[in-house]
Amino acid sequence: MPFADLGLSDELLRAVSEAGYDEPTPIQAQAIPSVLMMRDIVGVAQTGTGKTASFVLPMIDILAQGRSRARMPRSLILEPTRELAAQVAENFEKYGKYHKLSMALLIGGVSMGDQVKALERGVDVLIATPGRLMDLFGRGNILLTGCSMLVIDEADRMLDMGFIPDIEEICSKLPKQRQTLLFSATMPPPIKKLADKFLDNPKQVEVSRPASTSLNITQWLVPVASTGHAKRERLRELLGQEEVANAIIFCNRKTTVRELNKSLKQHGYRAGEIHGDMEQSARIAELDRFKRGDINILVASDVAARGLDIKGVSHVFNFDAPWHPDDYVHRIGRTGRAGATGTAYTLIASEDAENIQHIEKLTGQQIPRLTQAAPEREEPADRPPPRRERTTRARPADPRVQEAPRPRRPEARAAEAAPAPRAAERVRRDDPRGRPRRDHQADDGPDNGWNGPVPDFLSAKLTTP
Ligand code: AMP
């Protein structure tokens, strides 16, 4: 189906064509006509499916009629993290370039004063994280009574982060006569309940967790003798083994992110880091460096795992097997996006065995092991060689590594693989090991960006056209 059949305006069709899209993705084809007809929508879709454009495009056309008023945003998009909110704002700018809509982004980053000023001028689209929005609402800077369109994005992530009470409160402040769109990768009971309570006869739109993504991603488990030095060395071997154009390397702990980034830089890699202890401005700067190619390795905690849309990531490495199996799916989903192929390696020491079991149970697939791993070197310490600049091929191939089997391409794996399960339906919300969820973190704990709702020390960032 061509974009032109969806009912979008010529201006939007032009912007979409300039974005390089030939035809709508399944979620766009299903959702856009209904959103334009002012229906409520429950969209079961994860990032990577084109879901952002499925609500941003029709919103732009709907909002093209009418004018904004001071302190009364006309529409509201709720995002669980600042990075996702910033990404949606980028989408608005990209698709809305032939429209004159004003937008404010309420996330941590700069002073509230600027935000208040923009709200005073009036905005058509407010993109916010729930914590920051509630803060400004509590101070009387926002009136939600003029907000006739609400998008709750990544609802299951909101649930994980403890934002559901905030969302319920926000919903109750909006006019009853409104259009509500809710998107979630999974539909656990609390999200279903939220949808039943706040949406009116919604159209259900579902695209399965992209089986295509898993087919596009070649996955490997890489056994290592132990954590620490052995893992870092094996990682460097893998980085040198193939054409690693750019890679995101995920670690479970912030301390590991910092240590690994330092170690990689000492070994001459163009690496950077992103985790929840960093100020918003530093995180954005680091992401930009990665997007521009100034660095080609980004060591990340799970703060970067969900939703970040960085084009053309060739490799994902799990330096640690994630504790939560759904994080595995999200992490490796950073590669193999939009039809491209990618490779995901997960380094596993003996203590990761249980995590892997849970991942394989969730995905319904056995991930092949790189069995002929190169023998661990008997170096006592992780001593760096002289500094040297890396380019595309991150490290010269180690002759021992040539003996390891080359990962097969996705087609070969697909033929062997069991049919991809509807993983989205199987995501467990509980922790298989009874570990604390990610909203209670110590420095060496798992990292999702901040410890609970948006902390006060983070100020707000604002954009207006
Ligand atoms: P999302 O699921 O919204 O995070 O989108 C994932 C990626 O798909 C983003 O890089 C979008 O720019 C891209 N995208 C969105 N719609 C299309 C389309 N119709 N054709 C090709 N790529 C698209």
- What letter represents residue 48's amino acid? G
Taking all residues of the chain, what is their mean pLDDT, rounded to a whole number?
77
Average pLDDT score over residue span 92-116: 86
Confidence tier at 195 by pLDDT (50, 70, 90): very high
> What is the Cα–Cα distance from 398 to 414, expressed in whole angstroms?
29
> What is the Cα–Cα distance from 325 to 359, expressed in whole angstroms?
5
Is the CB–ligand 1 distance for residue 21 below 6 Å?
yes
Is the CB–ligand 1 distance for residue 47 below 6 Å?
yes
Whether 27 contacts 72, CB under 8 Å: no
Dist. CA 339 → ligand 1 center (Å)? 10
Task: Calculate helix-pair angle for 325-332, 353-363, nearest 10 degrees.
Answer: 70
Confidence tier at 382 by pLDDT (50, 70, 90): very low
Top mean-pLDDT range of 148-157, 182-191, 335-344: 148-157
Top mean-pLDDT range of 243-257, 337-351, 412-426: 243-257
Domains of the chain in start order, with CATH, are 3-206 (3.40.50.300), 217-363 (3.40.50.300), 423-463 (no CATH)
Whether 235 contacts 381, CB under 8 Å: no
DSSP label of 93 = H
3 state SS of 106 = strand
- Structure-token pair, residue 13: 């069709």
- Structure-token pair, residue 118: 């923009």
> What is the Cα–Cα distance from 2 to 457, expressed in whole angstroms?
47
Per-residue pLDDT at 413 exceeds 60: no
- Structure-token pair, residue 135: 């803060």
Tens-place pLDDT, residues 289-313: 998 889 999 999 886 556 566 766 8
- Structure-token pair, residue 454: 């948006």
Q: Which residue has the higher pLDDT, 140 or 330?
A: 140
* Alpha carbon nearest to ligand 1 atom 11, residue: 50
Whether 147 contacts 123, CB under 8 Å: no
Sign for the pseudo-dihedral over CA of 185, 186, 189, 192: positive
* Atom of ligand 1 minimally distant from the CA of 48: 2
What Å distances lie between residue 320 and 72, 261, 302, 317, 436, CA to CA?
Answer: 46, 14, 11, 9, 17
